[in-house]
Chain A
Amino acid sequence: MKGTLATLLVLVIAVSLFASGCISSNGQDQTPTQSNSNPEKSLVTIRTTGATFPQYQVQKWIEAYMKSNPNVKIEYEGGGSGHGQDAFLKGITHIGRTDPPVKESTWKKFLETGDQPLQFPWIVGAVVIAYNVPGVDELKLDGETLAKIFMGEIEYWDDPAIKSLNPNVQLPNKKIIVIHRSDSSGTTAVFTTYLTLVSKEWAEKVGAGKTVDWPVDKLGRGIGGKGNPGVVQALKSTEYSIAYTELSFAIEENLKVVALKNKAGNFVKPTDETIKAAVAAVKFFIPDPTEGYKEDSAQLMNAPGENAYPIIAFTHALVWQNKGGKHYTKEEAEAIKDFLRWVLTEGQKPENIAPGYVGLPPEVAQIGLKAIEMIQTG
């Protein structure tokens, strides 16, 4: 008994000494910095949880904001839109993040807590169609052709449907490999929602959702990739393939992107300008922050406008109005208000926007600013 217990004890103590040694040694490092920033205000930690689509952007905001506000620490946490809504509802995060606007049933659950939830867009991104076809540097597609490619009906790159859209491009007689997300994803939801809008056949046979039953998989020409990095990896290593991903990945990875035909009949590539044009065209559909969305995000897509890129995605922030200090302490509420106000003003300036995202036009940022003013500090 003694022998075993002793050895066990020694192990536990050794581990604990090791751990506490690390903690205290770092604790010593930490104390001076803390006392440096402490004199005026105590540290406030704010947590934001949910959608990973705006990760790059949100991390950039956090970094820039904390530089000028050393007594506020903002913790980024991923987990996806669903987790963001759930964590927000349960009060374990301060700022929820969700790509698709909250559904009415979830919104009702929010209201049942006795506090008013506020939802507003804070950044725009786009889903782009990237391709890897050696020798082809420019490619134009319309929604219907795109749906047919992803449905597997168009099998070869030199199909007449693609050729007629690209009369001047030398298209190879190779089979098209379609790459899609294998995991549940907001990007897939945005992309398939667009396809249901532009193709009746897609709407009937496949539909929209975070995961769908890809018809190309059954034909043996589909590849699944885990996450956007997985999709990009598969695209780069597979010649004659096509995939959908987020604009930020396309920019960082230098992918060739398709110019898509928009509602007005023009072929547009995803750029700052074309995404802003799309936002301007659909901004009337963004409801009041206290309302929640009554319809889904479909009406925000395939925007009218000469120069509007068709597949844009708003990503939303969720905060509580904090009636009677129900969710935030006074310090937390003040920090949240200040951070979000900064995000919607300074944060929308080009120097604070990460590659692949587009700042909100001032009228749209105003929706969020209105919401922030409603947050009660105590």
Chain B
Amino acid sequence: MSSFEVRKQKERLFLMGIGSLTFLALLPLFHIIATVFRNGLPVIIKEGLNFLTGTFSNGGIGPAIIGTFTLTFLASLLGLPIAFLVGLYAYEFPRSTVGRWTKMLLQIMIEFPTILVGVFVMQVLVVPMGTYSAFAGALALAIILMPYVAIYTHEAMREIPFTYREAGYSLGLTRIKVLLKILAPMTKRGIFTGVLIGVAKVAGETAPLLFTAGGLYESYPSSVTKPIGSISLLIYQLVQSPSPADHEMAWGASLILLIVFLGIFIPIRLSLKEVKL
């Protein structure tokens, strides 16, 4: 065999190795999706539309679905604008004391145990208000969402070559205009990836809601100052029960949660196009 042939063989072997390892890494993901569909689909088919709109004792998870959407929306409303500005600030003033501290704090926040966020919000909001509330749940989620968005914003901005900034300045633009009109639009993709990961993450969170949202499954939420449910919280509650009927319902709810998650993730991910530099 010529040395070229040997190298060719080596390459093939290597590619096969990488391919099978990638497959192994992805296997659990597909297994999860397949299991959730296999166990959840029959439940939803059996219950039909009632599963999506009915209250808990009528065999449906309607209030929980609305709860998850409401909480995710409120958390985005609270968290995204602040997180975006914080990310910009940390990028623009990397050497200032506040900038350095902001960046470090963001990195700590991203690793912070989410249950503690829930306990914190319970102490500062739930106890004084005397009730669980959608607002408290959304605040806890927003605290979890913010570091993701801020760090992604920051990292995305850093990837833009410095020459663009110089060009902006040479045109006579002010600092803020360079930042918001030239650099931010160029990093759209990176920022939205952060937004996406953050939103998708909080849509499935359970721990921060345990002591803040309270849960509401027998009636639809009516106010942000009243308790609210969420799909993940309901699943957590259902799997603790010895009743097989509760477990079935949890599988159905898991499938809905998976669909909600993929429904948020895939369309936005696909619609994000690379910005040409």
Chain A interfacial positions (CB closer than 8 Å to B)? 1-5, 7-8, 11-12, 15-16, 18-19, 22-23, 26-27, 29-30, 43, 45, 47, 52, 55-56, 59, 62-63, 66-67, 73-79, 83, 90-92, 227-229, 246, 248-249, 251-253, 354-356
- Asked if A75 and B66 make an inter-chain contact with CB atoms under 8 angstroms apart, the answer reads no
- Report B-chain residues with C-beta under 8 Å of the C-beta of A45: 216, 218-219
Contact among B210, B215, B242 for A249, CB-based, below 8 A? B242
Taking each of A22, A228, A354, which has the highest tally of chain B beta carbons within 10 Å of its own beta carbon? Answer: A22
Complex partner residue of A75 from B127, B210, B227, CB under 8 angstroms: B227
Contact B69 A19 (CB under 8 A): yes
Contact: B180 with A12, CB < 8 Å? no
CB neighbours (8 Å) of A22 from chain B are 65-66, 69
Question: Are B185 and A66 in touch, CB under 8 angstroms?
Answer: no
Q: Which of B11-19, B71-79, B161-169 is near enough to bind chain A?
A: B71-79
Inter-chain CA distance A39–B169, complex, in Å, is 68
Partner of B180, one of A4, A43, A73, A228: A4
Which residues of chain A come closer than 8 Å to B176, judged between CB atoms? 1
Known: A29-B53, A75-B215, A248-B242. A15 touches B185 (CB 8 A): no
Q: Which residues does B use to contact A, with CB under 8 Å?
A: 53, 57, 62, 65-66, 69-70, 72-73, 76-77, 80-81, 84, 126-127, 130-132, 176-177, 180-181, 184-185, 188, 191-192, 195, 199, 210-211, 214-220, 227, 236-237, 239-244, 246, 268
For chains A and B in complex, what number of residue pairs have CB atoms within 8 angstroms? 127
Give the Cβ gap from A147 to chain B, nearest Cβ, in Å.
Answer: 26
- CB-CB under 8 A from A251, the residues of chain B are 242
Cβ contacts A to B, 22 pairs, < 8 Å: A1-B180, A1-B184, A4-B188, A5-B180, A12-B77, A15-B76, A19-B73, A22-B69, A23-B66, A27-B220, A55-B240, A55-B241, A59-B243, A67-B57, A73-B218, A75-B214, A75-B227, A76-B217, A92-B132, A228-B242, A251-B242, A356-B242
Bound CA span A228–B241, Å: 9
Pick from B127, B199, B218, B244: contact of A90, CB below 8 A.
B127
Distance from A179 Cβ to chain B, minimum over Cβ atoms (Å): 16
A16–B138 alpha-carbon span in the complex (Å): 14
Residues of A within 8 A of B241 (CB): 55-56, 59
**A18 contacts B80, CB within 8 Å?**
no
Check B243 against A62 for contact (C-beta < 8 Å): no
The binding surface of chain A is classed by DSSP as helix
* CB-nearest residue of chain B to A87: B211
A325 to chain B, nearest CB (A): 14
The listed residue (B126, B185, B243) touching A3 by CB distance below 8 A is B185
